[in-house]
């Protein structure tokens, strides 16, 4: 990785590590466990993943939202993140809920797992902040067993936000140079995402949304529902 790339990633990781303790209290980040929105997320993730038990990797897991739901559904779930502070929060959530979720430190672009060792790779609110989303998808495909699936969930709030709407702390870390290094911050439609999956070699690429979750969200991050793009390793 070039020196400039390292500086960009350091800024990104520092941002998420610093806000880790407060992330779940942010509007639209994580719904409360007793909410209708959370129940809708469980239903959505259940239909997007294979039948349990499966080996599921949640890349860029943050505080473990997807990985914990996958565990709750009966999967062997692993959450991966570069932020040790985020992983500490995720492990604390797993302990409180009695879930046997595994959390590991590692780069979402190049997860440290064996080829053909997973049934599903999933991410939520991640692709927009990757330096090399295309490279990441190629690597994720390599980790999947035949007919394994990738599931990408995200939205376009970063592309639609105006600079004056961003908090000063966010702007100090997601500087203009950092933003320039992140192609996903400029996406305003789902087509670039589906094209990346196809280019990475995934078959059966499908595009959908989580309108059912969005309708129940108290603080949705954008006016449009979260998009979902899936693909399979044929």
Domain count, the chain: 1
Q: Which domain holds residue 159?
A: 3-95+108-187+194-204+211-232
Pairing type for strands 227-232 and 203-209 reads antiparallel
What pLDDT is stored for residue 162 in this prediction?
A: 41
> What is the value of pTM for the model shown?
0.93
What pLDDT is stored for residue 161 in this prediction?
A: 43
Residue 150 belongs to a domain with what CATH number? 3.40.50.150
| Residue 101 located in a structural domain | no
* Strand partners for 55: 76
What pLDDT is stored for residue 166 in this prediction?
A: 45
What pLDDT is stored for residue 158 in this prediction?
A: 54
| Residue 58 located in a structural domain | yes
Q: Which residues of the chain have pLDDT under 70?
A: 1-4, 157-167
Q: Do 227 and 207 touch, CB atoms closer than 8 A?
A: yes
| Residue 117 located in a structural domain | yes
What pLDDT is stored for residue 200 in this prediction?
A: 98
| Residue 102 located in a structural domain | no
Read off the tokens for 109: 């672009």
What pLDDT is stored for residue 4 in this prediction?
A: 56
What pLDDT is stored for residue 3 in this prediction?
A: 39
Pairing type for strands 144-154 and 227-232 reads antiparallel
């Amino acid at each position: 990785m070039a020196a400039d790339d390292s500086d960009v990633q350091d800024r990104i990781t520092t941002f998420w590590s610093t806000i880790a303790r407060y992330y779940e209290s942010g509007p639209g980040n994580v719904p409360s466990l007793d909410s209708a929105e959370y129940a809708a997320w469980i239903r959505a993730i259940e239909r997007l993943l294979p039948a349990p038990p499966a080996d599921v990797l949640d890349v860029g897991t943050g505080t473990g939202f997807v990985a914990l739901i996958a565990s709750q559904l009966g999967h062997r779930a692993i959450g991966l993140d570069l932020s040790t502070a985020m992983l500490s929060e995720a492990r604390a959530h797993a302990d409180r809920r009695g879930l046997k979720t595994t959390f590991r430190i590692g780069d979402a672009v190049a997860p440290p797992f064996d080829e053909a060792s997973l049934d599903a790779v999933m991410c939520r609110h991640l692709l927009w902040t990757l330096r090399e989303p295309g490279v990441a998808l190629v690597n994720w495909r390599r980790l999947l067993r035949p007919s394994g699936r990738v599931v990408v969930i995200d939205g376009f709030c970063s592309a639609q936000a105006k600079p004056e709407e961003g908090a000063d702390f966010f702007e100090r870390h997601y500087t203009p140079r950092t933003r320039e290094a992140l192609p996903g911050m400029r996406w305003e439609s789902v087509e670039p995402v589906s094209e990346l999956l196809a280019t990475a070699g995934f078959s059966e690429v499908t595009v959908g949304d989580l309108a059912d979750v969005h309708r129940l969200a108290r603080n949705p991050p954008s006016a449009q529902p979260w998009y979902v793009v899936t693909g399979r390793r044929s």
